[in-house]
Amino acid sequence: MQKLLSLLKNKYFLSTTAFLVWMLFFDRNDLLSQYEYRSQLQKLEQEKQFYTQEIAKVQKDLDELTTNKDKLEKFAREHYLMKRDNEDVFVIIEEEKKEEQKSLF
């Protein structure tokens, strides 16, 4: 009890304790904020990695489309429904499975 009382009278101990409490809980950069910043940083790094991979993939596709005429024709046919003059294009749209299940009952 005497040691605890002497610690509470020590001005250096009190100031250090007050400083630590202030920095851990009340400061703008407290522990909770640091945790949130760290989790946000991890999320942003994951997004950066995803978009870097997507950019590489799109760049590869662009290189293939600009150099290979067959790939360009296939891309135009699939995405823009383009055709040659002597061809017909049939677009098949699949129905959702819910409608198929309703018709079974």
Does position 97 have pLDDT exceeding 80, yes or no? no
pLDDT number for residue 55: 98
Residue 42 counted as domain residue: yes
Residue 97 maps to a domain: no
59 falls within a domain: yes
User: In degrees rounded to 5, what are phi and psi of residue 10?
Assistant: -75, 120
Residue 67 lies inside a defined structural domain of this protein: yes
Tell me the C-alpha distance between 98 and 48, whole Å: 37
Q: Per-residue pLDDT for 105 more than 60?
A: no
Task: Indicate the SS3 state at residue 71.
Answer: helix
- State percent of the chain over pLDDT 70: 92
Q: What's the domain range around 46?
A: 8-80
Query: At residue 65, what are phi and psi to the nearest 5 degrees?
Result: -70, -35
Would you say residue 105 lies in a domain? no
pTM here? Answer: 0.54
Q: Do 72 and 65 form a contact (C-beta atoms < 8 A)?
A: yes
Residue 80 has what pLDDT? 84
Report if residue 103 sits inside a domain.
Answer: no
Residues 31-81: pLDDT tens digits?
Answer: 888 899 999 999 999 999 999 999 999 999 899 989 999 888 888 888 888
13-32 pLDDT tens trace: 889 998 888 888 888 878 88
CA distance 24 to 32: 9
